[in-house]
Structure 1
Amino acid sequence: MINKHIEIVSSTVIGLSSMGKVSRDAILAVLAKHYSHVRVTIINDLSDLEALTARKPDLVVLGMKFIPSNPQLRFQNSSRIWISEYLDMHDIAYTGSRQPAHELELDKPLAKQRALNFGLKTTPFYVARQNKSFDIGQLPLEYPLFVKPTDRGGGLGIDSSSVAYNFEQVQSKVQSITANHRSDSLIENYLPGREISVAILKNDITHEYTVMPIERIVPPNKHGVSILSPDVKHADSGLSVAVTDADVKKKVSQLAIDVFYALGARDYGRIDTRMDANGIPHFLEANLIPSLIEGYGNFPKACMLNLNLDYEQMLLRIVRLAFSRNADSISSSPFEYHFATPLANTALQV
């Protein structure tokens, strides 16, 4: 038993947490086997965060990115208190990336622009602001288009109407996102190819990053389009398959590690990509606090399919990484990395 004080942080406020009760309880069960003092801490407002820092834990396992300065506004409040930045100010170590990377990741158009600035492939896009009209002339994109919220995760706001074939369908979906999610809308060219999620995890001994792509195969909806909607994600339906084609694996892995670096991410995370009609992968979005539920979510599945790294060892590696690095350091040079070789068992049926 290692004598360390660890707190697993998430929120019960809808939309603030990247970690639900099942996930935090599972993480607690694993870490409590190895560390002397482990607890779950709910952070819903600044007073909760202040109480956390007053306890001075040795490590915080991040399950959320921020709290709004005004709790009543939640996502609608542009003034945010970033958990990682607040912990840095109090010299408390934590898992995963720092505030600038989380801020880029949360703002999908900003993340895409960052990728473009680094010369990386992502689709052309347009941002439709809430309650602001726009006309067809402002949309210099080719149909079909894909419409989703700019700052929501977990597939929120994505459904069969997300694929739009004309301007009226785009307008209808934008209005729906505004009404139901109070979010701006990201409008981008629809990519018809394979969707591949790439888990990235640093080795706490060699300090080399392992890049682990898996393809998520889901049945097409009634319109013949395969979409990772909230229903699909929550049901965890479909087939998760290791990418065995050497050329595809190389292309998508290189794009993912390049985006990871461009965002300033560290230790671990997931980069989602999708291929165009010519088989060229494009960056979709990032998740730097991906789902860590055992047997669920692309990150744990990728670790198992590519490295045979089980749930417990995956969590312990993430925690060791946070303990071992200097909280103030951040890489300013290209990462050392390698592409994982898929194991013989290359699919997980769920």
Structure 2
Amino acid sequence: MTEQRKNGPMTERTDLAKIGLTAELIGPLQSPNPIANNNHRQDLQEHSSKLKNHIAVIATNTHDLKETGFGSIETCRLFYDALKEKYQTVTFHEISSISSLNDIVTSRPDLVVLCSKYFLDVSNNTKTWFSDYFSKHAIAFTGSDRNCLEFDSNKGKAKTAIQNHGIATAKFFQACPDQFETEDKLPLFLPLFVKPIDAANGNGIDENSIVRDFESYQSKVKELFESYGADVLVEEVLPGREFTVAIFDDPETDSRSIMPVEIIVPKNEKGDRILGCAAKQQNHELLRTITEPTLSAVSELAGSAFTALGVKSFGRIDIKLDAEGIPNFLEANLVPGMTPDSSYFPRACSLQTGSKSKTNRPSAMTHSEVALKIVELGLNRINTLQQVG
């Protein structure tokens, strides 16, 4: 049965008016734009080819902090830019309050990229460790957990753990001002190397860090204690070559990439090669690949330290040779700097000379590949945990 219109056929204008529109508002019908359609199809294809994971990148202003993580907000945005090329949903969050973290929890990302270790609330001088926060909310994150990150924040704690595993590291002690009345009371013989126990990027290290007399020792300990508000680390001087080692570790595929490079710092006015804050800011140090037998010795110690400290996915181990040419552990950097042209982790990755067709040595990686690898390892850990569960 066909429904009849009581008032005859309605005009197009009447039909449009019935739904609240007019012909003038809509305008004349237009033919499809083939260029726009092609662009739209291309966008859809690119979007569909990307992985469907939701990745949240979080950063905080670390300019005035002792520990700077990946680096500036601009450096962290480079990670965000790289990830957008592979993943459908990538968000960037500059953390300035706890409420910013709550917003991330509400969105439930698959993985959070931690560009720094914690958020410091300057109003009450309290730290919120990102790894603790997201663990509490059952959200996966890149890198190591809080317990392991303590080895990055406390060099003395890291060296103690390394010693307990029988791994070589320079003899050391922790000190505060006026702890020792005379030179003969010092636990180690001069000269000694004095540095902050909890700072990064060479902060607190300068041409006066090697102390050769008791007066210099007292002065440097007092300076660092007053500047950083904590005991200082005092070590035997290691006179040999210095190295930094970038490491990627993937238990899911049982693979580990160990990428060492040598750091050569120009001598200062005292004739010492000291990798301090000024040297790093000037970016005059030379990084170069190393050869056997040093390559194997440095790589072995770096891998052993990485395992002993329980590092997850990625990190950087710093090493120096003693007077006999034996590698010694210096410190661990578990949220290492990622500035492309100056930070040691991406530079070490870029200098590797292996071939992708050969698995004995890692091949060179671009900064974008480093960012993607860190996220890949984080997602692989989720898969492993799900399989175990």
**What is the RMSD computed on CA atoms of the aligned residues?**
2.1
- 1:320 corresponding residue in structure 2: 376
Counterparts of residues 61-140 of structure 1 (less than 5 Å) = 61-67=113-119, 71-72=122-123, 74=125, 80-129=127-176, 133-135=179-181, 136-140=183-187
- More off after superposition, 291-300 vs 196-205: 196-205
Alignment check: 8 A CA contact 1:11 1:17 kept: no
- 2:317 corresponding residue in structure 1: 271
Q: Tell which has more relative contact order, 1 or 2 (C-alpha 8 A, sep 6+).
A: 1
Indicate yes or no: 2:247 matched with 1:195: no
Tell me how far apart the structure 1 counterparts of residues 135 and 195 of structure 2 sit (CA, whole Å).
32
- TM normalised by structure 1 equals 0.86
**Identity of matched residues, %:** 35
Tell me how far apart the structure 1 counterparts of residues 134 and 165 of structure 2 sit (CA, whole Å).
29
- 2:11 corresponding residue in structure 1: none
Quickly say closer, same or farther: Cα 1:327–1:98, change in 2 above 3 A: farther
Where do 4+ consecutive residues of structure 1 move more than 6 Å?
Answer: none
Choose which of 166, 176, 187 in structure 1 pairs with 2:213: 166
Q: Give the secondary structure class of the aligned counterpart of 1:94.
A: coil
Deviation by residue 1:178-231 (Cα, 9 ceiling, x = unmatched): 232323210001111100111111258733111111001111011111111112
Counterparts of residues 44-63 of structure 1 (less than 5 Å) = 44-63=96-115
Indicate yes or no: 2:64 matched with 1:8: no
Q: Give the secondary structure class of the aligned counterpart of 1:319.
A: helix
Tell me how far apart the structure 2 counterparts of residues 11 and 327 of structure 1 sit (CA, whole Å).
28
Quickly say closer, same or farther: Cα 1:150–1:138, change in 2 above 3 A: farther
Tell me how far apart the structure 2 counterparts of residues 17 and 298 of structure 1 sit (CA, whole Å).
14
Tell me how far apart the structure 1 counterparts of residues 383 and 275 of structure 2 sit (CA, whole Å).
35
- 1:332 corresponding residue in structure 2: none
Q: Give the secondary structure class of the aligned counterpart of 1:52.
A: helix
Tell me how far apart the structure 2 counterparts of residues 153 and 190 of structure 1 sit (CA, whole Å).
19
What is the aligned length? 322
- 1:243 corresponding residue in structure 2: 290
- 1:213 corresponding residue in structure 2: 260
Deviation by residue 1:134-164 (Cα, 9 ceiling, x = unmatched): 3335421122111110000011000000010
Alignment check: 8 A CA contact 1:126 1:139 kept: no
- 2:271 corresponding residue in structure 1: 224
Q: Give the secondary structure class of the aligned counterpart of 2:288.
A: strand
Choose which of 281, 291, 297 in structure 2 pairs with 1:234: 281
- 1:342 corresponding residue in structure 2: none
- 1:333 corresponding residue in structure 2: none
Offset at 1:273?
A: 0.6
Tell me how far apart the structure 2 counterparts of residues 71 and 190 of structure 1 sit (CA, whole Å).
36
- More off after superposition, 16-25 vs 165-174: 16-25
- 1:339 corresponding residue in structure 2: none
Choose which of 291, 294, 299 in structure 2 pairs with 1:253: 299
Offset at 1:33?
A: 1.7
Indicate yes or no: 2:95 matched with 1:43: yes
Alignment check: 8 A CA contact 1:203 1:317 kept: no
Offset at 1:126?
A: 1.1
